[in-house]
Chain A
Amino acid sequence: MSELLISILLVIGSFFMLVAGLGMLRMPDLFLRMSCSTKAATIGVGTLMFALALYFEDLGVATRALATICFIFLTVPVGAHRIGRIAYLVGVRLWEGTITDELKGVYPADACMPFGQECLIPDMDAQEVSTDIEESPK
């Protein structure tokens, strides 16, 4: 019975991890990818840790697993928020189907670099991304 419960929890957790990976590959935008990966991966790792705490049936292990779950639930959204804010400031273009952009006009114009201009980060190939967005069907 306990093995069955642990197996079900493990399958649920790994399924959530797979959903995070699929969203990471298939979502059209950095911000959508980020929401997908953070939520699904947090729930997935939390469920795996919970299964581990059920498997060992030890107070110390359960406490450490719970502390790790709390740590992951606290830190992963913080990191995602910071990456998202920096990406918006650097000028990563939103998906064209995005309805609301509440940060538009919040930052001054020199703080927010438009994506079409020359990019300061050498990895961001602005030309390639902009043509990719323009060629997609409306």
Chain B
Amino acid sequence: MILQATINYIVFPLLSLTLVLGFIRLLLGPTLPDRIIAFELISITAAGIIVVSAITTDQAVLLDVASAWAIISFLSVIAFSYYIEKWRGRP
């Protein structure tokens, strides 16, 4: 009971606020690497939200979703940095 109340009134608002802050940085970040970092923060926060949803819905399967999500976000960051490195030498 206390767990459900804590999740509903504290944990989900804090995580949503983190999403909002990351999205503000994603909108106004002055350079492209800033936006990539903000995107990484947003995806990690989404993984956290999936984990907390696994507790609220009592479905342990969502943990696999969170781990796959973490893998995909890491791959996306690596791909972004790779393409920035390729853009660097182009006239």
Question: Which residues of A come within 8 Å of B, CB atoms?
Answer: 3-4, 6-7, 10-11, 13-15, 17-18, 20-22, 24-25, 30, 33-34, 37, 41-42, 44-45, 48-49, 51-52, 55-56, 58, 60-61, 64-65, 67-68, 71-72, 75-76, 78-80, 82-83, 86-87, 89-90, 92, 113, 120-121, 123-125, 128-129, 132
Give B13 Cβ to nearest chain A Cβ, in Å: 8
Contact assessment for A64 and B31 in the assembled complex, using a CB-CB cutoff below 8 Å: no
What are 18 A-B contacts with C-beta separation under 8 Å? A7-B7, A10-B52, A10-B55, A13-B11, A17-B14, A18-B18, A33-B34, A45-B51, A60-B60, A64-B63, A75-B70, A75-B71, A78-B74, A86-B84, A90-B33, A90-B84, A128-B30, A129-B31
A87 to B48: give the CA distance in the assembly, Å.
27
Chain A residue with Cβ nearest B51: A48
Tell me, in angstroms, the Cα distance from A67 to B66 when the chains sit together. Answer: 12
Q: With A7-B3, A13-B48, A14-B48 known to touch, is A21 a contact of B33 (CB < 8 Å)?
A: no
Chain B contact residues, CB within 8 Å of chain A: 1-3, 6-7, 10-11, 14-15, 17-22, 24-25, 30-38, 40-41, 44-45, 47-48, 51-52, 54-55, 60, 63-64, 66-67, 70-71, 74, 77-78, 80-81, 84-85, 87-88, 90-91
Known: A3-B3, A48-B51. A22 touches B30 (CB 8 A): no
A119 to B6, CA, bound (A): 48
Assembly CA distance A67 to B80 (angstroms): 25
Residues in A neighbouring B87, C-beta threshold 8 A:
120-121
Taking a contact as CB atoms under 8 Å apart, the answer to whether A21 and B34 are in contact is: no
Q: Which of A44, A49, A125 is B30 in contact with, Cβ under 8 Å?
A: A125
Per the bound structure, the CA–CA distance linking A123 and B30 in Å amounts to 8
* Residue numbers in A under 8 Å from B7 (CB-CB): 7, 10
B37 touches A61 (CB 8 A): no
Q: Is the CB of B88 within 8 A of A72?
A: no
